[in-house]
Amino acid sequence: MGRVLVIPSIDIQNGVTVRVVKGIPELNCKEYCNDPIETAMLWRAENAKTIHVVDFNAAHSHSHKNFDIIAEMCESVIIPIQLGGGIRTFEDAEISIELGVFRLVIGTMAFDNQKEFLKVLEHFGPRKIAAAIDVIDNEVVINGRQQRTGINVINYAKQLKDIGVKRFVVTDVNRNGMLIGPNIELSKNIAEATQGKVTLSGGVSGYNDLNNINQEFDNGIDSVIIGRALYENAFPCQKIWRVAESGIFN
């Protein structure tokens, strides 16, 4: 059995780090470092191997107001940064890659403009593009996790596999930021249905959850995004980092 790669999440809105609960960013969280660049440097100092960034301004209003900050984040740390939020066109993808990120996590475009998504996937390749699957009650949600689609998650994941997606970032939105435990079964089912690699996101509350996720490494869950549990010190950082970079870059 391999070891799952732990990826700290930095969620940005209006230039500051925010906490996200059930897909909704909450501002003015005093327990968090407000500066996303300082936050990225903190996780790098804690020996993180990569960082997951969500741009909520881009996701909700297609704004690029945080792009300078994201570019500076990429310059400030020597570890790869993957970016999600508001990537709706090929031009968005080009601009985002030029910021210095190593991978784009794309959700809405993959659902409602598959022709454009396929163009992005073919141009940059499956190592640089992951499909975000945000889920509420086994239903795919899009547009900043605000719009239900009525589409079954497994059927959708299979469609993405058929057009060439190799990696899926799977978020159970109702568990996101709630510290109530991850929906491991959801990610496991997507991994089995697609034979792809899955990054689980949402609900991790502590070390036991991480151990349970790690048991599914051989079943395709090779990485996990953790936000609130890290920021609120649910476990010591140095004890949870894993050195399985090979999985996340494949």
pLDDT bucket at 163, cuts 50 / 70 / 90: very high
Cβ neighbour number for residue 208 with a 10 Å cutoff: 11
User: How does DSSP classify residue 23?
Assistant: T
The pLDDT of residue 27 = 47
The pLDDT of residue 90 = 97
User: How does DSSP classify residue 213?
Assistant: H
Q: Which domain holds residue 227?
A: 5-248
Domain count, the chain: 1
CA dihedral 245, 72, 200, 143 (to 10 degrees): -150
Question: What's the mean pLDDT when you consider all of the chain?
Answer: 86
The pTM of the full predicted model, rounded to 2 decimals, is 0.88
| Residues 189 and 155 sit within 8 Å (Cβ to Cβ) | no
| Residues 154 and 189 sit within 8 Å (Cβ to Cβ) | yes
Tell me phi and psi for residue 183, to 5 degrees: -90, 80
The pLDDT of residue 59 = 87
CATH code of the domain covering residue 13: 3.20.20.70
The residue to which tokens 């993959």 are assigned: 110
Tens digit of pLDDT for each residue in 87-135? 999 999 999 999 999 999 999 999 999 999 999 999 999 999 999 999 9
Q: Identify which of 215, 216, 187, 220 has the alpha carbon closest to the alpha carbon of residue 201.
A: 187
CA dist., res. 108 & res. 129, Å (int): 13
Helical H segments across the chain, by residue range: 36-45, 56-61, 67-76, 90-98, 108-112, 114-124, 153-162, 184-194, 207-214, 228-231, 245-248
Mean pLDDT of 67-96: 95
Active site residue ranges: 11, 134
The pLDDT of residue 243 = 37
